[in-house]
Structure 1
Amino acid sequence: MPRFRYQARSAAGALLEGTMEAVNAALVADQLLANGSTPVRIAEESGNTPSPSVLTWQFGGRRINSADLILFCRQMYSLTRAGVPLLRALRGMTESACKPIMVETLQAVLEDLEGGRDLSGAMRRHPGVFPPLVVNMIQVGESSGRLDTSFSEVATYLTREKQTADQIRAALRYPTFVLVAISVAIAIITLFVIPAFEKLFRGHGAQLPLPTRAILGISNFAVSWWWAILIALVAGFFSWRAWVRTERGAMVRDRFKLRLPVVGSIIHRAVLVRFARGFAMGYGAGMPLIQSLTLTAQAVGNSYVQQRLGKLRRGVEHGDTLTRSAAASEMFTPLVLQMLAVGEEAGSVDTMLLEISDFYERGIEYDISRLSSAIEPILIVIIGAMVLVLALGVFLPMWNMASVMRGG
């Protein structure tokens, strides 16, 4: 049986390290959480490379998407609220599920429930389908007897997440289409139109203008060495994927996202909304403070922000206030820090975090509504540069055509 090395946080916030034998990493996490500890990292001891069963706590790869999980939570909310027994509700969900991976997962959950395991423990065995934040909210609902409320809160949280992501994609759709269309036009002109000018000029014993010759040289290189370019692109793509899977690569990539012009600020605030809502949802439901901070920081989906929020958690562990620790993380604006300080003084941190997330969401919605107009200046500059390339490559030879013909 493989042996796994783990790092975890106790309920008091102390860092725990050790090894454990288990079939996979999910079972190690299950055991740690059953003992009241929050997993931070679990990796197989064989070699330096983490095994495929290392837990990643995020959507991606072959997992279901957020829309599937939202539908599942809403249906479970309706069924549990109506008083349908849990086993019967899950059997009905299994029969109505469309994706094979969801059917297999729910069947496995059913088997665990019939074997005496609770719902949250059964769901925790499938981290690729049910993120830790979702599982812990279900666990809180089970403990408090408000399972239907937990499903409703999770569905609302995931719905808002999806709406924000969809709005950003919709706002970027038009600029992306314009850039792709112009790039295709330049490729067609470079590969087919400019070579025709070369034949005409060569027939009259004249040379193409320098800009056109430069573009033509690029075109000839692409035609002659297309296979080398293709190999380089494929190798670069897989090298990039391998690099961003490393801790350093993921950190650089996620930090770069936050510094993108126009959209970087939106991404930053969307990540903080995810943290604020997740933390308020867990802490407000009775989850220990350190455990709430740990789980929500791992669920933000950005390695750089996760690192900064880890600094927040460490500050709280060392006895500092939540507000001062949040200020030290350098992730929040002064206005948000003031709101957090008021919530901490009033003993309503979870309520104030929901206010903070609403504040950020209003700003995000406004910025997304004007995202297209904000991108237009950048788009105009890029299009202008592309048009300049076309002008130098196509129109300049046409302007010189008359003199070439006279010279002939």
Structure 2
Amino acid sequence: MATAAAKRKSASKKDVKHQPKVFTFEWKGVNRDGKKTSGELRGTSIMEIRTTLKTQGVNPKSVRKKATPLFKTEKKITAMDIAMITRQIATMLSAGVPLVTTIELLGRGHEKAKVRELLGGILSDVQSGIPLSDALRPHRQYFDDLYVDLVAAGEHSGSLDAVFDRIATYREKAEQLKSKIKKAMFYPAAVVVVAIAVTVLLLLFVVPQFESIFEGFGAELPAFTQLIVGISRWLQASWYFFAIGIIAFVWLFRRAHRNSQKFRDKVDEAVLKIPVIGEILHKAAMARFARTLATTFAAGVPLIDGLESAAGASGNAVYRDALLKVRQEVMSGMQMNVAMRTTGLFPDMLIQMVMIGEESGGLDDMLNKIANIYEMQVDDAVDGLSSLIEPIMMVVIGTLVGGLIVGMYLPIFQMGNVVG
């Protein structure tokens, strides 16, 4: 069976690679009522477009390939695009539209060329008899293992429309949560960047003006002023080292984060300890875990497999390791709520709700409620952070600018006291 699945995957990859190239054609013609009409269609050749138009009752007068712009900027396929496509598939399947027709209509009507190409490849595979889950599997950058496994479960149970509805809800919630986390991380980063930029500009352009005035004083400058002047001189002489240092740090950090799992795990552990931000990330991880496990469990995926998917989708190494530990305990026969308590990571309220769900047989519903609670808490925390960050930004920038100004005016104040 595994060999057959591997053959299907290999066949689907070959089909995607050897698909005929699809172009956009502009056409003009006359419809059944004798009225002139025009439009655009996608296809592999002019003959294909003419045949399609005739089947639609249009007598084509001219068909030509649409000119490609000189500076073509193809838009990438985003996670939100996949979420929207999933929702559209769920809606059309629920309305009784056949799967092949659904994919064909979505592929032809999408505004992004890459999405049309992606759906065209999937359609070709499905039309050749390959199951939809196997047709999605080669496109892992858009459809992860969780997505494909849920679709496979829907195919086996005959409830593909319900499964797509669950996946769509899951993807939409996940994207909303991701947007909130980005917003929460953006504000502190903005404070740091603005503070550094203002300080550097003052040290490079304002302090030197005061320094030229101080040279005529003939007296020793205050220690604080000497410190600021010294930093300004170093920055003027070595600003390029400073810039190169920042660029090198960012590059090395990104390289290590991309290539080292151990480094990523350490970063995940560290960010959870950041005040305010760490609390938001804790709640976001619990929301992801609950939403993922609820979706997989409701789709008929076994709890053991669902916990593995939830561990990968939690978005943080600390929660991933904890959930994998829970999975091991559940495999050995322990109840999930008891296994979660042994980790010391999950709050009592969450564990109690999981226990109630297990005892009542409605674990998926309870997990969805848990996800809703924590998503609302993340939303409130991000809004609170947004209102808190504005005064913090003013205090930080005010302290830096105020400190520099005081340092520059100290010699003038001392000089006034001596004269007085």
Is TM (by shorter chain) over 0.5? yes
Any conservation in 2 of the 1:343–1:349 contact (CA below 8 Å)?
yes
- What is residue 389 of structure 1 aligned with on the other side? 403
Q: Once the 2 structures are TM-superposed, how far is the Cα of residue 317 of structure 1 from its aligned partner?
A: 1.5
State the partner residue of 1:250: 264
How far residue 360 of structure 1 moved from its aligned partner, in angstroms, is 1.9
How do 1:311-326 residues align onto structure 2 when only pairs under 5 Å count? 311-326=325-340
Match of 1:132 among 145, 148, 152: 145
Task: State the Cα deviation string for residues 252-292 of structure 1 (Å, max 9, x = none).
Answer: 11112211111211111111111111111111221111111
Q: Judge conservation of contact 1:308–1:330 (CA < 8 Å) in 2.
A: no
Query: For 1:257 and 1:72, how far apart are their aligned partners in 2?
Result: 33
State yes or no: 1:185 paired with 2:185: no
Q: 1:311 and 1:174, CA in 2 relative to 1: closer, same or farther beyond 3 A?
A: closer
Which of these residues, 142, 159, 163, is aligned with residue 150 of structure 1? 163
For 1:120, give the aligned amino acid: S
CA distance in 1, matches of 2:231, 2:308: 52
SS of the residue corresponding to residue 215 of structure 2 reads helix
For 2:244, the equivalent position in structure 1 comes to 231
State how 1:364-383 maps to structure 2 within 5 Å.
364-375=378-389, 379=393, 382-383=396-397
Residue 376 of structure 2 aligns with an amino acid whose one-letter code is R
Scaled by the length of structure 2, the TM-score of the pair is 0.75
Give the TM-score taking structure 1 as reference length.
Answer: 0.77
Instruction: State yes or no: 1:334 paired with 2:357.
Output: no
Aligned position for 1:302: 316
User: What is the distance in 1 between the residues matched to 2:187 and 2:305?
Assistant: 42
**1:28-69 per-position Cα deviation (integer Å, ceiling 9, x unaligned):** xx9xxxxxxxxxxxxxxxxxxxxxxxxxxxxxxx97432111
Query: Helix, strand or coil for the counterpart of 1:90?
Result: helix
Percent identity for Structure 1 against Structure 2: 35
1:81 aligns with 94
1:227-254 per-residue CA deviation (whole Å, 9 max, x = no partner) reads 3233322322222122223111111111
Number of residue equivalences = 351
2:172 to 131, 155, 159: 159
Query: Which amino acid in structure 1 is aligned with residue 91 of structure 2?
Result: S
2:375 is aligned, of 355, 358, 361, to 361
Report the CA distance shift for 1:331/1:69 in structure 2 as closer, same or farther (over 3 A).
farther
Query: Aligned equivalents of 2:247 and 2:183: distance in 1?
Result: 28
Specify the alignment match of 2:289 in structure 1: 275
Residue 400 of structure 2: SS of its match in structure 1? helix
**In 2, distance between residues paired with 1:165 and 1:395?**
47
Question: Is the CA contact (8 Å cut-off) linking 2:256 and 2:263 kept in structure 1?
Answer: yes
Q: CA deviation at 1:112?
A: 2.1
Q: Does the 8 Å contact 2:295/2:364 carry over to 1? A: yes
Greater Cα radius of gyration, structure 1 or 2: 2
Could you say which structure has the greater relative contact order, defined with CA pairs below 8 angstroms and 6 or more residues apart? 1
Give structure 2 stretches of 5+ with no counterpart: 1-5, 14-74
1:344 to 358, 364, 371: 358
Question: What residue is the counterpart of 2:234 in the other structure?
Answer: 221
Q: Deviation per CA, 1:160-182: give whole Å up to 9, x if none.
A: 22223334444666665555444
